[in-house]
């Protein structure tokens, strides 16, 4: 089972992403976060971080001292 942290500041979109991921038999959404600071506290025990952020936010999150997570970034603007 792959453990996923969903990071999205829009609560409606975050809920939709969680609902979609929870339908997948091999994924488990173990945490969800809006603000980047909240996401940093939830990295422990997560295999994949699903982000809807720009590259700078991803770099800030990945430099928080945790390692071993994969990152998947969503981009909705050009």
Write out the residue range of the structural domain in which residue 9 sits.
Answer: 2-73
DSSP code for 68: S
pTM for the whole structure: 0.74
The total of structural domains in the chain comes to: 1
34 within some domain:
yes
* 64 CB-near residues (< 8 Å, 6+ apart): 40, 43
**Separation of alpha carbons 22 and 58, rounded Å:** 23
In a domain, 8, yes or no: yes
| pLDDT at 27 exceeding the cut of 70 | yes
Per DSSP, what are the bridge partners of residue 31? 5
- Give the CATH number for residue 41: 3.40.50.2300
For residue 24, is pLDDT > 90? Answer: yes
Q: For 50-73, what is each residue's pLDDT tens digit?
A: 876 655 566 566 655 555 666 665
Is 21 inside a domain boundary? yes
Does residue 78 sit within a domain? no
């Amino acid at each position: 089972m792959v453990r996923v942290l969903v990071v999205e500041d829009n609560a409606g979109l975050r809920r939709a992403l969680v609902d979609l991921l929870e339908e997948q038999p091999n994924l488990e959404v173990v945490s969800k976060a809006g603000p980047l600071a909240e996401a940093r506290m939830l990295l422990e025990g997560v295999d994949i971080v699903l982000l809807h952020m720009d590259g700078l936010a991803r770099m800030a999150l990945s430099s928080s001292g945790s390692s071993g997570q994969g990152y998947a970034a969503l981009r909705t603007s050009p």
